[in-house]
Chains A and B, each alone.
Chain A
Amino acid sequence: MSEDQKETGQKNTGKQRAGISRRGLIGAAGAAVATGVAGYAAHSIVSTPESQATDTTGPVEFYGEHQAGITTPVQDRLHFATFDLTTTKRDELISLLKKWTAAAALITAGRDIGQYGAMNGPAQAPPEDTGEAVGLPPARLTLTIGFGTSLFVDAKGNDRFGLADRRPAALVDLPHFIGDNLDPARSGGDIAIQACSDDPQVAVHAIRNLARIGFGTTSVRYSQLGFGRTSSTSRAQTTPRNLFGFKDGTNNLKLEDTAKLEDQLWVQQEDGPEWMVGGAYLVSRRIRMMIETWDRTSLSEQEGIVGRGKGTGAPLGKADEFDAIDFEAKGSDGELKVATEAHVRLAHPSFNNGAELLRRGYNFVDGSDGLGRLDAGLFFLAYQRDPRKQFIPVQRQLARSDVMNEYIRHVGSGIFACPPGVQTGSFWGEKLFV
């Protein structure tokens, strides 16, 4: 069967596709298969934020108005990759997006990709699915796609796929921020795919298989693993800690704030372009943390830099993590409790024309740097309605004044237009090509 036939076969069968349930493969006995199917069905009906935040094994619906993996309660693990297209043909790009969408629908449902999956194919052929997720649950895997600026117009100004006039005005090239030390090999990319899951192997399996499908059409530009979430996107979740040891994402946009999401996250009809309505813009930043020097910093200085208590996560001068920050409060010494250059102040909406971000970044440690230090940090991911009004002004202010800058370096960067959700029978970004 050719690739095209496979693709059509998968598309036509829609959500009830032929992929093999990974659970069904665990036991050879029929009883095991039945259990697997029942378990799968049960997961499908319990997809409230609360249950998703607590049940870390079930599937997250792939189809919908918005792409999954944005407001979805943040999973624990990340595998993020960007791809450069090696093809110059628009129809090959479209074909790739169709194949990827079909595969994504299967993998997120906890199924093997392809007609035969990981182990049931012909013995002489390489298995269609790479197999390392066999026996693992869907683990709330989400796959979220975004299109980089270079997909529309490359660095030399070429309209590579006849998409130049479809480039959203909000998909700007990010400006240089003070202190940026960006590695081109860890920045940019024509297409980004964010895989989030509560099981690291499930996330890696997804990117690996999508990369494999892409060979000949795309090439991985870089990929990044994240081992722990640094924010919460639902009030049902607790606030995790970043590698500075501080709670991160307390004031994040939450999926329960539906009105705010329309205002701050989702691209609206009046924003245009049409193909992006219901989508969002993603900014990725690989932020290296100088954790060894941070660790030598006194507790009071650490708290002063962040503007929150390290234990409770409460704003300085307050008792509870979720207490409103009092930016005017002064201590007995007459100094502001939350200093003028504290991170929480400079990043706060009240000092940024109300701009908010939906953050879902991850801690990373990519081994060590050869100097005896951990190559560690935060892989920052932020979704928003318009980076020109949100990420860019906020980051400009942080880059200029944030006292935390002494301990961080922005070493990678990307900006992507993430289209709205996929409907059954459609594919990622279909409206872009209409």
Chain B
Amino acid sequence: MITFTTRRATATAVPLLAALLLAGCADETPQVTPGDATGPVAVKATESECELSRRDVKSGTSTFSVSNGGSKVTEFYVYAEGDRVMGEVENIGPGLKRDLIVELPTGKYQAVCKPGMVGDGIRGDLNVTGDATAQIDTDTALKQATESYQRYVNSQAVALEEKTTEFVAAVKAGDVAKAKELFPISRTYWERIEPVAESFGDLDPKIDARVNDVEPGTEWTGYHRIEQALWVSNTTKGMEKYADQLLVDVKTVVAKAKVVKLNPLQLANGAKELVDEVATTKITGEEDRYSHTDLWDFEANVEGSQAAIQALRPALQQRDPALVTTLDTNFKAVFAAVDKYRVGDGFKPYLPTEAERKELSTVIDALAEPVSKVAGVIAKK
């Protein structure tokens, strides 16, 4: 067995997600039976290791059985070129085991564990051999893109519900420290799929409104209501009802997100909205004005944007390869810029100097322009 140490110390680019096929959880009924004769690949994940029982698999459907032997929550990904996510399982708690079932055509991939759910992850090669090298046409690629991205949304939604449940439990238990710790983590899953959530009308304001977003006469609820109590008053007192409501609202979003039908243009526009979101409300620090945990949201928005773009990647590659190169470069630059603020599994409080803010703004603007061009390329007949 081969083990890999974390690259985070040297590498700066943070990868991303987008399930191309069938991410399933062990506690759910798998939709595809692992039919590969060679059997599941066992993955042993800890804080410092990501061991695979073998690194050569046959093309077609593979199952990765991921056990988390470490003390941090981890994630497991299979990346194709450009960190395009072929499959992923999120939120694997310590001591838990989950399966990833993924369809992999012949090619070179990377298997990645992300202890603490942040950073570049612990990476190793994965070789897929066989004859299933189907060259797909653009229409098929676009169809696969939406299926892929819907799986991504699904996996994020599941994790959002799990983490929000934990957050709400901490608030109700009066555990301020634990609630503070879980606040930015649970929001990560929200921020990654925010454009999808926003499409469900009034749920977004109920869950994510800032104090100045609330109309007079309307009660302020959601994450930021609780954030204010946690950081300004250092208490959970009086927050119980907001916590309960938050979980109800999040569950509603999750239920809707799981069945949402998206088209390729929505993916492209969602990717753009996420970057715009960063440019307008994350750069300024107004999103998490009490906790200053904006960089979690910042990174999650960009990750969510990249997930949608990477799902579209095969189609984009056929229509505008130069744009794909630009996007790759500019996503990398954004993650490198955010990485400067990373501490452990999280980020420094976001209290930037004007020069730091300008630097972040510059890389986001550089990314936003090419991302805005994706919809036009996708729409082209």
Using a CB–CB cutoff of 8 Å, the interface residues on chain A facing chain B are 2-4, 86, 121-126, 185, 212, 215-217, 219
Q: Could you tell me the distance in whole angstroms from the C-beta of A93 to the nearest C-beta in chain B? A: 15
Q: Which residue of A lies closest to B354 (CB)?
A: A185
User: B370 — which chain A residues lie within 8 A by C-beta?
Assistant: 216
Q: Which residue of A lies closest to B375 (CB)?
A: A124
Q: Are A124 and B323 neighbours in the complex by a CB distance under 8 Å? A: no
Q: Are A216 and B375 neighbours in the complex by a CB distance under 8 Å? A: no
* A–B complex contacts, Cβ < 8 Å, 5 sampled: A2-B320, A3-B322, A86-B363, A126-B375, A219-B366
B133 within 8 A of A: no
Say whether chain A's binding surface is mostly helix, strand, loop, or mixed: loop
Which of B323, B363, B369, B376 lies at the interface centre, i.e. has the most chain A CB atoms within 10 A of its CB?
B376
**Contact partner of B326 among A125, A126, A216, CB < 8 A?**
A216
Q: Are B330 and A125 neighbours in the complex by a CB distance under 8 Å? A: no
B317 within 8 A of A: no
User: A86 — which chain B residues lie within 8 A by C-beta?
Assistant: 362-363, 366
Q: Which 10 A-B pairs have the closest CB atoms?
A: A125-B376, A124-B379, A216-B366, A2-B322, A215-B369, A219-B362, A124-B375, A126-B372, A215-B365, A122-B376
**Contact partner of A215 among B268, B358, B368, B380, CB < 8 A?**
B368
From known contacts A215-B366, A216-B370, A219-B365, infer whether A123 and B379 are also in contact, taking CB-CB under 8 Å.
Answer: yes
B378 within 8 A of A: yes
Q: Which residue of B lies closest to A184 (CB)?
A: B355
A121 to B363 Cα, complex, angstroms: 27
Interface residues in B308-354 by Cβ distance below 8 A to A read 320, 322-323, 326, 330, 354
Q: Could you tell me the distance in whole angstroms from the C-beta of A221 to the nearest C-beta in chain B? A: 9
User: B377 — which chain A residues lie within 8 A by C-beta?
Assistant: 125
User: A123 — which chain B residues lie within 8 A by C-beta?
Assistant: 379
From known contacts A86-B366, A123-B379, A124-B376, infer whether A2 and B330 are also in contact, taking CB-CB under 8 Å.
Answer: no
B143 within 8 A of A: no
B373 within 8 A of A: yes
B265 within 8 A of A: yes
Q: Are B366 and A124 neighbours in the complex by a CB distance under 8 Å? A: no
User: A185 — which chain B residues lie within 8 A by C-beta?
Assistant: 354
A121 to B365 Cα, complex, angstroms: 22
Q: Could you tell me the distance in whole angstroms from the C-beta of B32 to the nearest C-beta in chain A? A: 34
User: A122 — which chain B residues lie within 8 A by C-beta?
Assistant: 376, 379-380
Q: Could you tell me the distance in whole angstroms from the C-beta of A78 to the nearest C-beta in chain B? A: 24
Q: Are B365 and A2 neighbours in the complex by a CB distance under 8 Å? A: no
Q: Could you tell me the distance in whole angstroms from the C-beta of A117 to the nearest C-beta in chain B? A: 14
Q: Are A121 and B376 neighbours in the complex by a CB distance under 8 Å? A: yes
User: B367 — which chain A residues lie within 8 A by C-beta?
Assistant: 216
User: A2 — which chain B residues lie within 8 A by C-beta?
Assistant: 320, 322-323
A415 to B320 Cα, complex, angstroms: 40
10 further A-B pairs in the complex, CB-CB below 8 A; given A86-B363, A121-B376: A86-B366, A122-B379, A126-B373, A212-B369, A216-B330, A216-B366, A216-B367, A216-B370, A219-B362, A219-B365
Interface residues in B248-269 by Cβ distance below 8 A to A read 265, 268
Q: Could you tell me the distance in whole angstroms from the C-beta of B133 to the nearest C-beta in chain A? A: 27
Which of B365, B372, B380 lies at the interface centre, i.e. has the most chain A CB atoms within 10 A of its CB?
B365
Q: Which residue of B lies closest to A211 (CB)?
A: B365
Q: Could you tell me the distance in whole angstroms from the C-beta of A98 to the nearest C-beta in chain B? A: 15
A350 to B342 Cα, complex, angstroms: 62
A2 to B372 Cα, complex, angstroms: 14
Q: Could you tell me the distance in whole angstroms from the C-beta of B266 to the nearest C-beta in chain A? A: 11
A122 to B322 Cα, complex, angstroms: 19
Q: Are B322 and A4 neighbours in the complex by a CB distance under 8 Å? A: yes
Q: Could you tell me the distance in whole angstroms from the C-beta of B216 to the nearest C-beta in chain A? A: 28
A126 to B371 Cα, complex, angstroms: 10
Q: Are A124 and B378 neighbours in the complex by a CB distance under 8 Å? A: yes
A121 to B372 Cα, complex, angstroms: 14
Q: Which residue of A lies closest to B330 (CB)?
A: A216
A122 to B268 Cα, complex, angstroms: 15
Q: Could you tell me the distance in whole angstroms from the C-beta of B147 to the nearest C-beta in chain A? A: 21
A86 to B320 Cα, complex, angstroms: 24
A2 to B326 Cα, complex, angstroms: 11
Q: Could you tell me the distance in whole angstroms from the C-beta of B265 to the nearest C-beta in chain A? A: 6
From known contacts A215-B368, A216-B366, infer whether A126 and B376 are also in contact, taking CB-CB under 8 Å.
Answer: yes
A212 to B366 Cα, complex, angstroms: 9
User: A125 — which chain B residues lie within 8 A by C-beta?
Assistant: 373, 375-377, 379
Q: Which residue of A lies closest to B322 (CB)?
A: A2
A219 to B373 Cα, complex, angstroms: 19
Q: Which residue of A lies closest to B323 (CB)?
A: A2
Q: Which residue of B lies closest to A219 (CB)?
A: B362
A124 to B322 Cα, complex, angstroms: 19
User: B363 — which chain A residues lie within 8 A by C-beta?
Assistant: 86
Q: Which residue of A lies closest to B377 (CB)?
A: A125
A124 to B326 Cα, complex, angstroms: 20
A212 to B372 Cα, complex, angstroms: 12
Q: Which residue of B lies closest to A185 (CB)?
A: B354
A111 to B212 Cα, complex, angstroms: 42
User: A126 — which chain B residues lie within 8 A by C-beta?
Assistant: 372-373, 375-376
Q: Could you tell me the distance in whole angstroms from the C-beta of B166 to the nearest C-beta in chain A? A: 39
User: B372 — which chain A residues lie within 8 A by C-beta?
Assistant: 126
Q: Which residue of A lies closest to B372 (CB)?
A: A126
Q: Which residue of B lies closest to A86 (CB)?
A: B362
A123 to B368 Cα, complex, angstroms: 18
Q: Which residue of A lies closest to B268 (CB)?
A: A124
User: A124 — which chain B residues lie within 8 A by C-beta?
Assistant: 265, 268, 375-376, 378-379
A3 to B376 Cα, complex, angstroms: 14
A219 to B320 Cα, complex, angstroms: 25
Q: Could you tell me the distance in whole angstroms from the C-beta of B274 to the nearest C-beta in chain A? A: 16
A3 to B379 Cα, complex, angstroms: 18
Q: Which residue of A lies closest to B329 (CB)?
A: A216
A420 to B157 Cα, complex, angstroms: 59
The digit string for B22-63, where 1 denotes a CB below 8 A from any CB of A, is 000000000000000000000000000000000000000000
User: A121 — which chain B residues lie within 8 A by C-beta?
Assistant: 376
